[in-house]
Amino acid sequence: MKQVISEGCRIPIKMWLDDVEESALAQARNLANLPFAYKHVALMPDCHSGYGMPIGGVLATEGVVIPNAVGVDIGCGMCAIKTSLTEVSKETIKQVMSEIRQRVPLGFDHQTNAQEESLMPSLEPVPTNGVVARQYIAARKQIGTLGGGNHFIEIQKGSDSHIWVMIHSGSRNIGLKVADHYNRIAKALNERWYSSVDIKHDLAYLPIESNEAKDYFAEMKYCVDFALANRKLMMQNIMGAFEMVVGNTFSEVEFINIAHNYARWENHFGKNVIVHRKGATSAKEGEIGIIPGSQGTKSYIVKGKGNPESFESCSHGAGRKMGRKQAQKQLNLENEIAMLNQKGIVHGIRSIKDLDEAPGAYKSIDIVMANQKELVDIIVELTPLAVIKG
């Protein structure tokens, strides 16, 4: 790791980066001073300021779960598959991308018709009168859709000579509804209990034995499963787009999936604790994962090293160095477009509003990967050929 901060903290903060922004460090200090925080707080090399907890943060707790330490896009994550193609022309890529846009709703768009219930996770474990049950019908029109923000579909050329497809997406509106609902409950209960956790830190918690925590865990797990089902349906439709244009290129499909917003029971340093990963991914020894770069930079298929000091975690991407509005104000549109064009990448940056997802808004993925050599090994480097942004 790069550095350890102990001053002013109940437990240490261990960081795999040098250049953490002050606001993110302040949030990490809030985590480190929680009375139920366990062992230390871990900050991944893509860390930046979030809402309550920094993105790229890993927090283990004893006896409580913190909805806001998971975040609003529960189960958001990555998936990737390798095609049998070793070459593809730019014209073919454009045809495939056009076909993908016909099959995968983007941004705020939903499916025209509710999708088959067989594509949805089972409702059996969730409360019958909970958020998921109320959102279920709407979610059947959201499954198989990309969403907006930093979500993307990318076609890439691997260092293994194969063409790859990668998706970044989450649980859509159902995850947001679950997160907001239980964060409100946690805040109300913490105020009623006169909790020592400052309400302004946005880290309200639920005791794990409470009914509220049990309901949250069940609904959070559903959202993680829904996010995976969402990515699977999108990938199925993307495979259909490839087959329409170039024929069957997925005869032996290995589907790689990794989530980066969730909480779950794990054993660390000999104790069962609840590990919250917010913009961080699991990197157990031998576990295969995905670390995307920014639009226009490399992504990576990796294998975890199971480093105990990071709670067996690694970064979830490059990490932002600019806020969205800051990027739109400060980045040069022509320069960002020229950089992508120079690399021959088929992209969607057209106007100033698109600059929030330009490469210049993100940290260097090369530095991020160098900072986590003790967390993961690189298996395949993926160079972008074309990208669709939500």
Map out the domains of the chain as residue ranges: 3-321+362-389
pTM: 0.96
Identity of the residue numbered 235: M
> How many other β-carbons are positioned within 10 Å of the β-carbon of residue 306?
16
Return the structure tokens found at 115: 């999708």
Report how far apart the first and last C-alpha atoms of the chain are (Å, whole number): 34
Average pLDDT over residues 117-146: 96
Is residue 251's pLDDT more than 70?
Answer: no
Class of domain 3-321+362-389: alpha beta
Q: How far apart are CA 321 and CA 67, in angstroms?
A: 25
Q: How far apart are CA 374 and CA 146, in angstroms?
A: 32
Radius of gyration from C-alpha coordinates of the chain:
20
Query: Given this model, what pLDDT does residue 296 score?
Result: 87
Average pLDDT, the chain: 95
Secondary structure of residue 142 in the 3-state scheme: coil
Secondary structure of residue 321 in the 3-state scheme: coil
Residues in the chain: 390
Helices and strands counted in the chain (H then E)? 8, 17
**Closest CA relative to residue 69, chosen from 177, 197, 179:** 179
pLDDT > 90: what percent of the chain? Answer: 87
Provide the annotated active-site residues: 316
Is residue 1's pLDDT more than 80?
Answer: no
Q: Indicate the burial class of 122 (C-beta count within 10 angstroms; 0-12, 13-18, 19 or more).
A: exposed
Distances (CA, A) of 211 to 131, 182, 208, 226: 14, 11, 8, 22
Return the structure tokens found at 89: 């022309």
Strands 13-15 and 41-48: parallel
Is residue 384's pLDDT more than 80?
Answer: yes
Of the CA atoms within 13 Å of residue 377, those in its CB half-sphere come to 8
Torsion sign over Cα 277, 278, 280, 281: positive
Q: Indicate the burial class of 56 (C-beta count within 10 angstroms; 0-12, 13-18, 19 or more).
A: buried
> How many other β-carbons are positioned within 10 Å of the β-carbon of residue 278?
27
pLDDT digits (tens, 9 = 90+) for 186-245: 999 999 999 999 999 999 999 999 999 999 999 999 999 999 999 999 999 999 999 999
Is residue 254's pLDDT more than 90?
Answer: no
- Residue 145 gets the label, from left (phi > 0), alpha (psi -120 to 50) or beta, of beta
Q: How far apart are CA 387 and CA 230, in angstroms?
A: 19
Average pLDDT over residues 382-389: 95
pLDDT digits (tens, 9 = 90+) for 332-364: 999 998 999 999 999 989 899 988 998 889 999
**Residue with token string 């893509």:** 46
pLDDT digits (tens, 9 = 90+) for 78-116: 999 999 999 999 999 999 999 999 999 999 999 999 999
**Closest CA relative to residue 155, chosen from 90, 231, 103, 106:** 90
Q: Indicate the burial class of 102 (C-beta count within 10 angstroms; 0-12, 13-18, 19 or more).
A: exposed
SS3 for 63-92, per residue?
CEECHHHCCCCCCCEEEEEECCCCCCCHHH
Residue 361's φ and ψ, nearest 5 degrees, are: -85, -5
pLDDT digits (tens, 9 = 90+) for 256-306: 999 999 999 999 999 999 999 999 999 999 999 999 999 889 999 999 999
